[in-house]
Amino acid sequence: MSPRRVLALAASLTVAGLVAATTVTPASARSAAGAADPCPGSGAIPIGSLAAAVRSGCSLVGRMVTDGRISVMVPPAGMSVAGDGVGTHGEVRGLTVTNTGTTVRAVRDSAGAVSLGHTTSARRGSPPACKDRTSNLEGPKWKTGLRYHVNLKGLPGRLHQSKVVKQIRKANGNMRTGRNTCGKPRLRTPASVYLGRTKAKPDIGAGGPSCRKGNSQNVVGFGNLPGGLLGWTCYWFFGSRMAGSDMLIDNGPNLVTNLPKNCTNKWDFEGTVTHEWGHAYGLAHSGSGHDNLTMQAILSPCSTYARTLGLGDWIGMNKMYGHRH
Protein backbone atom coordinates (compact mmCIF):
# COMPACT_ATOMS: atom_id res chain seq x y z
CA MET A 1 0.00 0.00 0.00
CA SER A 2 1.33 3.46 -0.89
CA PRO A 3 2.06 6.11 1.77
CA ARG A 4 -1.06 7.98 0.68
CA ARG A 5 -3.19 5.00 1.64
CA VAL A 6 -1.71 4.48 5.08
CA LEU A 7 -1.54 8.05 6.31
CA ALA A 8 -3.47 8.07 9.58
CA LEU A 9 -5.70 11.10 9.34
CA ALA A 10 -9.01 11.44 11.16
CA ALA A 11 -11.83 10.40 8.86
CA SER A 12 -15.59 10.33 9.19
CA LEU A 13 -18.18 9.56 6.55
CA THR A 14 -21.72 10.89 6.96
CA VAL A 15 -24.23 9.29 4.60
CA ALA A 16 -27.67 7.79 4.99
CA GLY A 17 -28.04 4.29 6.37
CA LEU A 18 -25.75 4.19 9.41
CA VAL A 19 -25.55 0.59 10.50
CA ALA A 20 -23.11 0.46 13.41
CA ALA A 21 -21.03 2.88 15.47
CA THR A 22 -19.35 2.03 18.74
CA THR A 23 -16.49 3.30 20.91
CA VAL A 24 -13.37 1.14 20.93
CA THR A 25 -12.17 0.00 24.35
CA PRO A 26 -8.57 1.11 25.08
CA ALA A 27 -6.04 -1.67 24.63
CA SER A 28 -4.89 -1.32 28.25
CA ALA A 29 -8.33 -2.34 29.44
CA ARG A 30 -8.71 -5.36 27.22
CA SER A 31 -6.70 -7.98 29.03
CA ALA A 32 -4.20 -8.39 31.80
CA ALA A 33 -0.73 -9.77 31.17
CA GLY A 34 -0.85 -13.49 30.62
CA ALA A 35 -4.64 -13.56 30.09
CA ALA A 36 -6.17 -15.67 27.33
CA ASP A 37 -6.50 -14.01 23.93
CA PRO A 38 -9.84 -12.14 24.02
CA CYS A 39 -9.88 -11.78 20.21
CA PRO A 40 -10.17 -15.25 18.69
CA GLY A 41 -11.21 -15.74 15.09
CA SER A 42 -10.45 -13.88 11.91
CA GLY A 43 -13.54 -14.45 9.76
CA ALA A 44 -15.88 -11.88 8.25
CA ILE A 45 -17.98 -9.84 10.68
CA PRO A 46 -21.69 -9.54 9.81
CA ILE A 47 -22.93 -5.96 9.98
CA GLY A 48 -25.31 -6.94 12.75
CA SER A 49 -22.37 -8.13 14.86
CA LEU A 50 -20.09 -5.17 14.20
CA ALA A 51 -21.08 -3.21 17.31
CA ALA A 52 -20.31 -6.20 19.55
CA ALA A 53 -17.00 -6.78 17.77
CA VAL A 54 -15.96 -3.18 18.37
CA ARG A 55 -17.04 -3.29 22.03
CA SER A 56 -14.77 -6.29 22.52
CA GLY A 57 -11.80 -3.94 22.24
CA CYS A 58 -10.13 -6.17 19.67
CA SER A 59 -8.34 -4.63 16.73
CA LEU A 60 -10.54 -5.11 13.68
CA VAL A 61 -8.05 -3.79 11.13
CA GLY A 62 -7.82 -6.30 8.30
CA ARG A 63 -11.12 -8.02 9.17
CA MET A 64 -13.90 -8.11 6.61
CA VAL A 65 -17.29 -6.57 7.38
CA THR A 66 -20.11 -8.08 5.33
CA ASP A 67 -23.80 -7.47 4.71
CA GLY A 68 -24.16 -10.99 3.35
CA ARG A 69 -23.37 -9.95 -0.22
CA ILE A 70 -20.70 -7.27 -0.13
CA SER A 71 -17.59 -7.36 2.04
CA VAL A 72 -15.24 -4.48 2.90
CA MET A 73 -11.99 -4.77 4.85
CA VAL A 74 -11.62 -2.61 7.95
CA PRO A 75 -8.85 -0.12 7.09
CA PRO A 76 -6.21 1.42 9.36
CA ALA A 77 -7.28 4.24 11.68
CA GLY A 78 -8.19 7.42 9.83
CA MET A 79 -9.20 5.71 6.60
CA SER A 80 -12.46 4.70 4.91
CA VAL A 81 -13.03 2.03 2.27
CA ALA A 82 -16.10 1.87 0.06
CA GLY A 83 -17.38 -0.32 -2.75
CA ASP A 84 -20.13 0.31 -5.28
CA GLY A 85 -21.07 -0.89 -8.72
CA VAL A 86 -23.59 -1.19 -11.49
CA GLY A 87 -25.66 -4.12 -12.69
CA THR A 88 -28.18 -5.52 -15.13
CA HIS A 89 -30.79 -6.44 -12.51
CA GLY A 90 -31.18 -7.44 -8.87
CA GLU A 91 -29.89 -5.47 -5.90
CA VAL A 92 -27.00 -3.05 -6.32
CA ARG A 93 -26.03 -1.21 -3.15
CA GLY A 94 -22.69 -0.02 -1.92
CA LEU A 95 -21.02 -0.50 1.45
CA THR A 96 -18.61 1.83 3.27
CA VAL A 97 -16.48 0.99 6.32
CA THR A 98 -14.81 3.81 8.26
CA ASN A 99 -12.20 3.45 11.01
CA THR A 100 -11.76 6.74 12.90
CA GLY A 101 -9.41 5.21 15.45
CA THR A 102 -12.07 5.19 18.16
CA THR A 103 -15.04 4.04 16.09
CA VAL A 104 -15.66 1.55 13.29
CA ARG A 105 -18.77 2.20 11.22
CA ALA A 106 -20.44 0.37 8.36
CA VAL A 107 -22.84 2.23 6.09
CA ARG A 108 -24.98 0.84 3.30
CA ASP A 109 -25.76 2.94 0.25
CA SER A 110 -29.36 4.11 0.63
CA ALA A 111 -29.58 5.24 -3.02
CA GLY A 112 -28.94 1.85 -4.58
CA ALA A 113 -31.55 0.01 -6.56
CA VAL A 114 -33.47 -3.25 -6.58
CA SER A 115 -34.84 -4.28 -9.95
CA LEU A 116 -35.75 -7.35 -11.94
CA GLY A 117 -34.21 -5.68 -14.96
CA HIS A 118 -34.56 -2.44 -16.87
CA THR A 119 -36.41 -1.98 -20.12
CA THR A 120 -37.00 0.87 -22.52
CA SER A 121 -40.34 1.50 -20.82
CA ALA A 122 -38.56 2.07 -17.48
CA ARG A 123 -36.46 4.81 -19.05
CA ARG A 124 -39.54 6.33 -20.65
CA GLY A 125 -41.12 6.57 -17.23
CA SER A 126 -38.18 8.57 -15.83
CA PRO A 127 -37.38 12.25 -16.40
CA PRO A 128 -35.30 12.98 -19.50
CA ALA A 129 -31.57 12.99 -18.82
CA CYS A 130 -31.22 16.74 -19.32
CA LYS A 131 -34.23 17.50 -17.08
CA ASP A 132 -33.28 15.27 -14.15
CA ARG A 133 -31.22 17.21 -11.59
CA THR A 134 -30.82 14.30 -9.15
CA SER A 135 -27.33 13.65 -7.85
CA ASN A 136 -25.76 12.05 -4.79
CA LEU A 137 -22.17 12.30 -3.61
CA GLU A 138 -20.08 9.74 -1.77
CA GLY A 139 -18.13 12.43 0.12
CA PRO A 140 -14.47 12.27 -1.00
CA LYS A 141 -12.96 13.70 -4.16
CA TRP A 142 -9.59 13.81 -5.88
CA LYS A 143 -7.36 16.73 -4.96
CA THR A 144 -4.76 15.71 -7.55
CA GLY A 145 -4.96 13.82 -10.83
CA LEU A 146 -6.08 10.18 -10.93
CA ARG A 147 -3.25 8.04 -12.34
CA TYR A 148 -4.23 4.52 -13.35
CA HIS A 149 -3.16 1.29 -15.05
CA VAL A 150 -5.13 -1.39 -16.91
CA ASN A 151 -4.66 -5.13 -16.36
CA LEU A 152 -6.11 -7.12 -19.27
CA LYS A 153 -5.66 -10.54 -17.69
CA GLY A 154 -9.11 -12.11 -17.63
CA LEU A 155 -10.37 -10.08 -20.57
CA PRO A 156 -12.70 -12.24 -22.69
CA GLY A 157 -11.11 -13.29 -25.98
CA ARG A 158 -14.10 -11.97 -27.92
CA LEU A 159 -13.13 -8.40 -26.97
CA HIS A 160 -10.21 -6.67 -28.69
CA GLN A 161 -7.57 -5.43 -26.27
CA SER A 162 -6.86 -2.15 -28.06
CA LYS A 163 -10.55 -1.25 -28.27
CA VAL A 164 -11.14 -2.11 -24.62
CA VAL A 165 -8.27 0.12 -23.49
CA LYS A 166 -9.49 2.90 -25.78
CA GLN A 167 -13.01 2.72 -24.32
CA ILE A 168 -11.71 2.62 -20.73
CA ARG A 169 -9.78 5.82 -21.45
CA LYS A 170 -12.74 7.41 -23.24
CA ALA A 171 -15.02 6.49 -20.36
CA ASN A 172 -12.66 8.22 -17.96
CA GLY A 173 -12.82 11.31 -20.12
CA ASN A 174 -16.60 11.12 -20.31
CA MET A 175 -16.90 11.39 -16.55
CA ARG A 176 -13.88 13.56 -15.80
CA THR A 177 -14.75 16.26 -18.35
CA GLY A 178 -18.52 15.98 -17.89
CA ARG A 179 -19.36 14.99 -21.46
CA ASN A 180 -23.04 15.76 -21.95
CA THR A 181 -25.72 16.76 -24.44
CA CYS A 182 -27.37 19.22 -22.04
CA GLY A 183 -25.27 22.21 -23.04
CA LYS A 184 -23.24 22.20 -19.83
CA PRO A 185 -19.57 23.33 -19.91
CA ARG A 186 -16.50 21.17 -19.45
CA LEU A 187 -15.68 20.26 -15.85
CA ARG A 188 -12.47 21.19 -14.07
CA THR A 189 -11.78 17.75 -12.66
CA PRO A 190 -8.00 17.22 -12.15
CA ALA A 191 -6.39 15.64 -15.20
CA SER A 192 -6.10 11.86 -15.28
CA VAL A 193 -3.08 9.94 -16.54
CA TYR A 194 -3.22 6.52 -18.17
CA LEU A 195 0.02 4.77 -17.19
CA GLY A 196 -0.30 1.75 -19.47
CA ARG A 197 -0.66 -1.96 -18.88
CA THR A 198 0.25 -3.64 -15.60
CA LYS A 199 0.40 -7.08 -14.02
CA ALA A 200 -0.87 -5.66 -10.73
CA LYS A 201 -4.41 -6.71 -9.91
CA PRO A 202 -7.29 -4.61 -8.61
CA ASP A 203 -7.55 -5.27 -4.87
CA ILE A 204 -11.12 -6.48 -5.30
CA GLY A 205 -12.43 -9.97 -4.65
CA ALA A 206 -14.83 -10.96 -7.45
CA GLY A 207 -16.85 -13.28 -5.25
CA GLY A 208 -19.25 -11.17 -3.25
CA PRO A 209 -17.66 -8.77 -4.31
CA SER A 210 -15.19 -7.49 -1.69
CA CYS A 211 -12.91 -4.49 -1.19
CA ARG A 212 -9.59 -5.38 0.38
CA LYS A 213 -6.66 -3.41 1.76
CA GLY A 214 -5.65 -1.58 -1.41
CA ASN A 215 -2.35 -1.50 -3.27
CA SER A 216 0.14 1.00 -4.62
CA GLN A 217 -1.60 1.43 -7.97
CA ASN A 218 -5.04 2.40 -9.24
CA VAL A 219 -5.94 -0.55 -11.47
CA VAL A 220 -8.77 -1.37 -13.87
CA GLY A 221 -9.08 -5.13 -14.33
CA PHE A 222 -11.45 -7.96 -15.23
CA GLY A 223 -13.12 -10.75 -13.29
CA ASN A 224 -16.24 -12.87 -12.95
CA LEU A 225 -18.61 -10.68 -10.93
CA PRO A 226 -21.69 -12.22 -9.30
CA GLY A 227 -25.39 -11.41 -9.32
CA GLY A 228 -25.75 -9.55 -12.61
CA LEU A 229 -23.04 -7.01 -11.76
CA LEU A 230 -21.38 -5.36 -14.74
CA GLY A 231 -18.73 -3.46 -12.79
CA TRP A 232 -17.52 -2.84 -9.27
CA THR A 233 -15.30 -0.07 -7.91
CA CYS A 234 -13.52 0.09 -4.55
CA TYR A 235 -12.01 3.33 -3.30
CA TRP A 236 -9.95 4.34 -0.30
CA PHE A 237 -10.09 7.80 1.24
CA PHE A 238 -9.17 10.00 4.19
CA GLY A 239 -12.02 12.32 5.09
CA SER A 240 -12.79 14.28 1.93
CA ARG A 241 -9.57 13.29 0.14
CA MET A 242 -9.66 10.39 -2.27
CA ALA A 243 -6.50 8.29 -2.01
CA GLY A 244 -6.96 5.39 -4.40
CA SER A 245 -9.41 3.46 -6.53
CA ASP A 246 -9.56 0.05 -8.21
CA MET A 247 -12.15 -1.17 -10.69
CA LEU A 248 -13.23 -4.69 -11.68
CA ILE A 249 -15.22 -5.16 -14.88
CA ASP A 250 -17.27 -8.30 -15.44
CA ASN A 251 -15.79 -10.70 -18.00
CA GLY A 252 -19.05 -12.56 -18.67
CA PRO A 253 -21.10 -12.41 -21.89
CA ASN A 254 -23.12 -9.25 -21.12
CA LEU A 255 -20.70 -6.46 -22.05
CA VAL A 256 -19.86 -5.55 -25.64
CA THR A 257 -17.79 -2.74 -27.15
CA ASN A 258 -20.16 -2.56 -30.14
CA LEU A 259 -23.88 -3.16 -29.72
CA PRO A 260 -25.16 -5.72 -32.26
CA LYS A 261 -27.77 -4.69 -34.82
CA ASN A 262 -30.43 -6.97 -33.36
CA CYS A 263 -29.49 -6.31 -29.74
CA THR A 264 -30.90 -8.36 -26.89
CA ASN A 265 -29.52 -8.45 -23.36
CA LYS A 266 -26.22 -6.79 -24.19
CA TRP A 267 -24.79 -3.83 -22.31
CA ASP A 268 -22.53 -1.07 -23.57
CA PHE A 269 -18.97 -1.45 -22.27
CA GLU A 270 -18.02 2.23 -22.47
CA GLY A 271 -21.22 3.35 -20.75
CA THR A 272 -20.72 0.82 -17.96
CA VAL A 273 -17.15 1.96 -17.34
CA THR A 274 -18.25 5.61 -17.45
CA HIS A 275 -20.58 4.79 -14.54
CA GLU A 276 -17.77 3.11 -12.62
CA TRP A 277 -15.48 6.11 -13.14
CA GLY A 278 -18.28 8.10 -11.55
CA HIS A 279 -17.81 6.11 -8.34
CA ALA A 280 -14.03 6.50 -8.61
CA TYR A 281 -14.46 10.29 -8.81
CA GLY A 282 -16.89 10.45 -5.89
CA LEU A 283 -20.42 10.06 -7.26
CA ALA A 284 -23.00 7.84 -5.59
CA HIS A 285 -26.04 6.27 -7.24
CA SER A 286 -28.84 8.57 -8.33
CA GLY A 287 -31.50 6.30 -6.79
CA SER A 288 -34.56 4.60 -8.27
CA GLY A 289 -36.70 6.48 -10.78
CA HIS A 290 -33.79 8.20 -12.52
CA ASP A 291 -33.17 5.64 -15.25
CA ASN A 292 -31.80 8.08 -17.82
CA LEU A 293 -28.86 9.18 -15.69
CA THR A 294 -25.43 7.56 -15.97
CA MET A 295 -25.31 6.99 -12.19
CA GLN A 296 -28.49 4.91 -12.07
CA ALA A 297 -27.52 1.63 -10.33
CA ILE A 298 -29.16 -0.60 -12.96
CA LEU A 299 -28.25 0.13 -16.58
CA SER A 300 -30.58 -0.48 -19.49
CA PRO A 301 -29.40 -2.85 -22.22
CA CYS A 302 -28.82 -2.14 -25.90
CA SER A 303 -28.10 1.58 -25.48
CA THR A 304 -25.09 3.88 -25.28
CA TYR A 305 -26.93 6.53 -23.23
CA ALA A 306 -24.65 6.10 -20.17
CA ARG A 307 -21.63 7.38 -22.11
CA THR A 308 -22.94 10.95 -21.77
CA LEU A 309 -23.77 12.45 -18.40
CA GLY A 310 -27.29 13.51 -17.59
CA LEU A 311 -27.92 16.83 -15.90
CA GLY A 312 -27.87 15.30 -12.41
CA ASP A 313 -24.61 13.46 -13.11
CA TRP A 314 -23.02 16.72 -14.32
CA ILE A 315 -24.38 18.64 -11.32
CA GLY A 316 -22.84 16.11 -8.93
CA MET A 317 -19.43 16.31 -10.57
CA ASN A 318 -19.68 20.08 -10.74
CA LYS A 319 -20.34 20.29 -7.00
CA MET A 320 -17.06 18.52 -6.39
CA TYR A 321 -14.81 19.88 -9.12
CA GLY A 322 -16.41 22.95 -10.68
CA HIS A 323 -16.44 23.83 -14.37
CA ARG A 324 -14.64 26.00 -16.87
CA HIS A 325 -16.00 29.45 -17.67
Mean pLDDT of 5-32: 36
Mean pLDDT of 166-174: 98
> What was the pLDDT predicted at 26?
40
> What was the pLDDT predicted at 43?
87
> What was the pLDDT predicted at 288?
86
Q: Are 174 and 128 in contact (CB under 8 A)?
A: no
> What was the pLDDT predicted at 325?
87
> What was the pLDDT predicted at 124?
74
Per-residue H/E/C for 14-65:
CCCCEEECCECCCHHHCCCCCCCCCCCCCCCEEHHHHHHHHHCCCCCCCCEE
Tell me how far CA of residue 67 lies from CA of 19, 44, 189, in angstroms: 10, 10, 33
> What was the pLDDT predicted at 34?
36
Does residue 275 carry a pLDDT above 60? yes
Does residue 114 carry a pLDDT above 90? no
> What was the pLDDT predicted at 316?
98
Mind listing the domains of the chain with CATH numbers? 3-24+43-321 (3.40.390.10)
- Model confidence over 131-154: pLDDT tens digits? 999 999 999 999 999 999 999 999
> What was the pLDDT predicted at 19?
40
CA 224 to chain centre: 16
Tell me how far CA of residue 280 lies from CA of 153, 202, 215, 277, in angstroms: 21, 13, 15, 5
Does residue 38 carry a pLDDT above 90? no
> What was the pLDDT predicted at 110?
67
The structure's pTM equals 0.88
> What was the pLDDT predicted at 112?
58
- Among 29-33, 99-103, 245-249, 276-280, the range scoring the smallest mean pLDDT is 29-33
> What was the pLDDT predicted at 131?
97
- Model confidence over 228-250: pLDDT tens digits? 999 999 999 999 999 999 999 99
> Residues of the chain with pLDDT > 70: what percent?
83
> What was the pLDDT predicted at 215?
77
DSSP 272-301: HHHHHHHHHHTB----TT-TTSTT-SBPPS
At 109, the pLDDT band (50, 70, 90 cuts) reads: confident
How does DSSP classify residue 120?
H
Mean pLDDT of 286-310: 95
